[in-house]
Amino acid sequence: MEKLTVRGGRPLGGTVRVSGSKNAALPLIFATVLTESVCVIENVPRIRDVEISLEILSSMGAQVRWEKRGSLAICTENMRLAAPPEHLVCSLRASTYLMGAMLGRFGRAYVQNFGGCNFSPRPIDMHLFAAKALGADLENNDILAPHGLRGAVIAFDKVSVGATVNALLMAVRAEGRTVIENAAAEPHVENLIVFLRSMGAAISRLGSALVVDGSALRGGRAAVVGDMIEGGTYLLSGLATGGAVSVEGCDAVHLSSFLSILRRGGAFVKTEGGRITVSGRLIAPIMLKTAPYPGFPTDLQPQTALIGALHNGAVVTETVFPGRFGYLEALSDMGLSYVRSGSGAYLFPSRLYAGSVMAEDLRGGAALVLAALSAEGESVIYGISAVLRGYENIVEKFSSLGANINF
């Protein structure tokens, strides 16, 4: 079983350059299905989820080529209309985006056993609601729009990143105008909009709505935005170990709610010239409540809660995925004291010791890595492939900060 060994207890310091965002890269990769022309995507991280996405497209006839470092050329001209291989689809949550893109291009898509981190129920009713609003019918596991999609108002009753992405992928190829109400505004959604515009799509934002005028699309080009979740994780590694870590390549504005929680806890936060630095000690408990952007990102909840526990404790409310606390049990094997309460948790100030633990999901696993870096002695994190899904060159990057870490 893949594992990571960490000898912790030493302060980390230095600067990490973050990679392109996983959550932004995957929608862009699947958006290439919308056109028969070549698309180029830059700053793509070489992480497992990207490799699986490319394997899915290749298995359906797309041509995929890595050009210079981090740059991908994808041509889906010869892509076949067929259900993609189940074993790939079920290992990747972002394969839901293939559904929207195929429906946009071919007027037909397949509902499959979509995978991804299993920290909470992850329904797709809103994705299907969007497809139906645009005129598609659901027959068993087929979604069909034989005469093409038609623009419509898609009134979401809550904010969903995945459903917004899929609504966009369908609406850009629908006939006429679509209004997506209550649309997500995460940087990765904005990144997709930039890419779709480069393909010729007409998309504008009106308050919390997106207005889309459907059309044929040409090949497009865009760079993947820097990964704010990866950036946040490395910044927290400084606080976990009593060091000071800087990150470059991600936008401090994207991390505003995260950085303000750290400031409120007493950390020293500096943003200057494209570089973010976090240092110092927390003097107050971390109080955080996750919410859609620009709220506190659910993908930084486990890592930030852990840092709270290493200092003065954390009070966490998880409004996006109320069950996203599986990592607490593994941390309790390293000495964490906590209590769960409804969709929240209290993490008490705890001194962690080295241990052997299992990473059950991507961000919970990242919290285990931070815990191992903070604890004196040797820790082993099993199931590390869950973490490699979202962190490019994690060993090299932590080693460059002075960590003793290897596979």
CA distances from residue 309 to 196, 249, 328, 350 in whole angstroms, order as listed: 42, 28, 11, 6
Helical spans, DSSP H, in 242-273: 256-265
Nearer to ligand UD1, 93 or 311 (CB): 93
Find the binding residues for ligand UD1 in span 275-294 (CB under 6 A): 292
Question: Given candidates 186, 230, 361, 392, which one binds ligand UD1 under the rule CB under 6 A?
Answer: 186
187 binds ligand UD1 (CB under 6 A): no
Distance CA 2, CA 24 (A): 26
Least distance between ligand UD1 and beta carbon 324 (Å): 9
> Collapsing DSSP states into helix, strand and coil, what is residue 181?
strand
Termini Cα distance of the chain: 11
**Per-residue contact string for residues 26-65; x = within reach of ligand UD1 by CB under 6 A:** ----------------------------------------
Q: Name the one range near ligand UD1 by CB under 6 A: 8-16, 42-50, 158-166, 194-202.
A: 158-166
The structure tokens listed for 267 are 């950390």
Encoded amino acid at 321, one letter: F
Q: Name the one range near ligand UD1 by CB under 6 A: 7-15, 153-161, 205-213, 326-334.
A: 153-161
Residue nearest to ligand UD1 (CB): 162
298 binds ligand UD1 (CB under 6 A): yes
255 binds ligand UD1 (CB under 6 A): no
Q: Name the one range near ligand UD1 by CB under 6 A: 64-72, 80-88, 132-140, 157-165.
A: 157-165
Least distance between ligand UD1 and beta carbon 315 (Å): 19
> Collapsing DSSP states into helix, strand and coil, what is residue 395?
helix
* DSSP letter, residue 58: H
Question: Given candidates 26, 143, 159, 201, which one binds ligand UD1 under the rule CB under 6 A?
Answer: 159
**CB-neighbour burial class of residue 407 (10 A; exposed 0-12, middle 13-18, buried 19+):** exposed
Strand boundaries in 77-201, DSSP class E: 108-110, 137-139, 142-144, 153-155, 177-181
Least distance between ligand UD1 and beta carbon 123 (Å): 4
122 binds ligand UD1 (CB under 6 A): yes
**Beta partners for residue 154, in sequence order:** 180
Determine whether 250 is an active site residue.
Answer: no
Distance CA 296, CA 238 (A): 20
Distance CA 37, CA 357 (A): 46
Q: Known catalytic residues?
A: 117
Residues that bind ligand UD1 (CB under 6 A): 23, 93, 122-127, 158-163, 184, 186, 292, 297-299, 320-321
